Amino acid sequence: MEDGYLFILLTLDATLRVSTPLIFCAMAGLFSERSGIIDISLEGKMLSGAFVAASVAAVTGSAWLAMLAAVGVAAGLAALHGFACITHKGNQVVSGVAINILASGLTVVLGIAWFHQGGQTPGLPSSARFMPIEFPFAEPVSVIPMLGPFYKELLSGHNLLVYLAFMVVPLTWWVVFRTRFGLRLRAVGENPTAVDTAGISVTWLRYRAVLICGLLTGLAGTYLAIGQNAGFVRDMTAGQGYIALAALIFGKWRPFSALGACLIFGLLDAIAIRLQGVHVAGIGEVPVQLIQALPYILTVVLLAGFIGKAVAPKAIGMPYLKER
Amino acid sequence: MSQSSSTLPRWIDIGLIPLLNVVMALVVSGIIILLIGENPIEAVKIMMYGALGYEEGIGYTLYYTTNFVFTGLAVAVAFHAGLFNIGGEGQAYIGGLGAGLFILMADSSLPAILILPLGIITAGLFGAAWAAIPAYLQAYRGSHIVITTIMFNFIASALMVYLMVNVLIKPGQMSPESRPFLDNAHLPFAHEVFAWMGIEITRSPLNVSIIWAVICCVGLWLFIWRTRWGYAIRSVGFNEKAAVYAGITPAKTIMLAMFVSGALAGFVGVNEIMGVHHKLLLNFTAGYGFTGIAVSLMGRNHPFGIVLASLLFGLLYQGGAELAFEVPTITRELVVVIQGLVILFSGALAYMSTPWVEWVYRKCTHKQPALQGG
């Protein structure tokens, strides 16, 4: 019983850790897509952020500088996406694909040119990373049955960025649904002409949305490179940007629903890792690949309209042409 | 999908501007090489030699080109219907799986004359089937095909890992590969074909799939511009509402376009599985599906343009390998960077240079009448 409880707690603990980048990216995508800009380049921006964070941390030894640089570069890529999609009215999907491919190539090319370690960055000492924060009294409290381990294992002992990710969700909700900027943001994703008629610049609104998106993906990358891990490895995002995109769609472009989807997908991942090679009576060896593919399969099923209906912002993917 | 400006003559619109875009991508790539601390001119020289300087290099270049023709055509035919098929990678993977499964079942019972064409057909059918699901969801349930094809890439990858690790792996072996195919299921290599004619050339992975790629190019050109189905596809891509008035059913047309697209992507499996590896293995698609996007954008979705773009990317892939070998600070991934830049400049920023070109063109054409008049 005791063991089973601890197993569940540790699985949930792992869930929080793997969900964090998904949450950052899903919120990032939410800002962009709510403003009408499709963003499939979450993956690429997160990867670039991770690479820059690890590089700067390795050179300067400062986790905060690393975060700043990562956010800056990710926002730069977001601005490029905006430049192509908003200013030049290019195809948003094509631009996103370009950024993803560019990031996957450039991180390796620069990594090898700068650090000569086969695309990795040097291993980082604890001082250059965001380390787990132990909550006060975690040790003495842990003797209390049920609640004690819950406090020690699940709530305490994550790094700053994990807590930040969970704070970003209500913040996103507040900004999108309770501020004037949020109202306009949603309006520009549904009917940009109306926003334009009201005398508000569609271009500037969308640029701001895209830049917020870049900022958040930068945080996701920072977490991957100097929070969860101690350095950059090539292609370390491994499709998580796409899973976040799936979570965003799964959550129907709403912050708390998207958070729920991120946690479900994170849990699936955590379970898949724990079940690797485990034999379950009656089923035999669990096909881990099936569990790993579940987020993608579920999203397709949702998109097909078999479980509820995911309706995207109306003006998504369409460049806004101002009539003259 | 493509909008063209009405004020410029055709040769500028389909010749000069695409060329300018590619040049911009290559210039930025050159700047990146400079930043790394190497000489871009030297890099180009090494790449050209590596890709075209000797027989084996040419063989490799053409072998890569074959893959890019297939995936480029696949992306292009979907583009003509107004669809963005990012799923070429997954469709190629499943196409290869199809060819492999068929050959593993049949190579001990069928002669080469039957097994080779049937293998090619199976690869196409499997790729088409993998594209048909997202196509169906787009056509009849309105699910965005970009998202579903991305998801299907990942599902294909998970499926392949599962099958290779658990089912198809050759017993008593650690690496997840199937048993090798028997000789009758090998597509002949180019050096073998030339040897039959009494000409000796160096060994390379180039095989007769390239002939199939050429046939596909011509076939697709005929299909898109000379058949009613191609007309339907172009109509739906250009203006879906008008197509409906013309009596075309968009849903069926989407299915058709994606079916052809998936089949073309699946033919990568022919080149890789039947032509080169002669067994099923993991990750043989190696990003060729994504390169297809760059190829198609650069070639303006026209088979002829796609052949040129495929040759350029074949050259870059093989030359890039040589470059990585010669210059230790540069890696093969430089080609991936160039690919990303090509997609950016030829795709997303395709019309960035148009106002400038228009300005220059107007300056030039305004002068001429003035000179004649004066």
| A56-72 per-position pLDDT tens digit | 999 999 999 999 999 99
Domain count, chain A: 1
Amino acid A308: pLDDT: 66
**Considering only alpha carbons, which residue of chain A is nearest residue B351?**
A88
B148 at A interface, C-beta within 8 A: yes
Please state the rounded mean pLDDT for residues A228-249. 90
CB-CB under 8 Å, B141 with A304: yes
Confidence of residue B374 (pLDDT cuts 50, 70, 90): very low
Considering only CB atoms, A303 lies closest to which of B137, B338, B348, namely B137
Q: Is the pLDDT of residue A129 over 50?
A: yes
Phi, then psi, of B134 in degrees rounded to 5: -60, -35
* Residues linked to residue B207 through DSSP beta bridges, in sequence order: B189
Q: Is residue A278 part of a domain?
A: no
Higher pLDDT, B345 or B10: B345
Higher pLDDT, A142 or B63: B63
Considering only CB atoms, A84 lies closest to which of B152, B336, B348, namely B348
Q: Is the pLDDT of residue A146 over 80?
A: no
Helix (H) or strand (E) holding A279: strand A279-280
* B191 token code pair: 């050096």
Which residues 181-220 on chain A approach chain B with CB closer than 8 angstroms? none
d(CA B255, CA B78) in angstroms, rounded, equals 10
Q: Which residues of A touch B150 (CB under 8 A)?
A: 40, 242, 245
Mutation for B interface: A109, A237, A268, most B CBs within 10 A: A109
Structural contact between residues B262 and B89, judged by C-beta atoms closer than 8 angstroms = no
- How close is the nearest chain A Cα to the Cα of B351, in Å? 7
Q: Which residues of A touch B162 (CB under 8 A)?
A: 287, 289-290
Considering only CB atoms, B343 lies closest to which of A97, A292, A303, namely A97
pLDDT above 70 covers a percentage of chain B that reads 96
- How close is the nearest chain B Cα to the Cα of A90, in Å? 4
A102 at B interface, C-beta within 8 A: yes
Q: Which residues of A touch B148 (CB under 8 A)?
A: 300, 303
Please state the rounded mean pLDDT for residues B50-63. 94
| A309-318 per-position pLDDT tens digit | 677 888 888 8
Helix axes A288-303, A255-274, angle to 10 degrees: 160
Q: What is the DSSP code (8-state) at residue A284? A: E
Structural contact between residues A274 and A288, judged by C-beta atoms closer than 8 angstroms = no
Rounded to two decimals, what is the model's pTM? Answer: 0.90
Considering only CB atoms, A304 lies closest to which of B86, B143, B154, namely B143
* A32 token code pair: 């962009």
* Structural domain boundaries enclosing A34: 2-238
Q: Which residues of A touch B329 (CB under 8 A)?
A: 112-113, 116
Q: Is residue A76 part of a domain?
A: yes
Which residues 13-32 on chain B approach chain A with CB closer than 8 angstroms? 32
Phi, then psi, of A81 in degrees rounded to 5: -60, -45
Q: Is B21 exposed, middle or buried (0-12, 13-18, 19+ CB in 10 A)?
A: buried
E-only strand ranges, B73-170: none
Nearest to B335 by CA among B61, B21, B37, B58: B61
* A16 token code pair: 């929080």
Q: Is residue A291 part of a domain?
A: no
Q: Is residue A216 part of a domain?
A: yes
Q: How many CA atoms lie within 13 A of B105 on its CB side?
A: 9
This model of the complex carries an ipTM of: 0.90
Q: Is residue A293 part of a domain?
A: no
DSSP reduced 3-state for B207:
strand
* A192 token code pair: 């940009």
| B294-334 per-position pLDDT tens digit | 999 989 899 999 999 999 999 999 999 999 888 888 888 89
Q: Is residue A102 part of a domain?
A: yes
Q: How many CA atoms lie within 13 A of B344 on its CB side?
A: 25
Q: Is residue A112 part of a domain?
A: yes
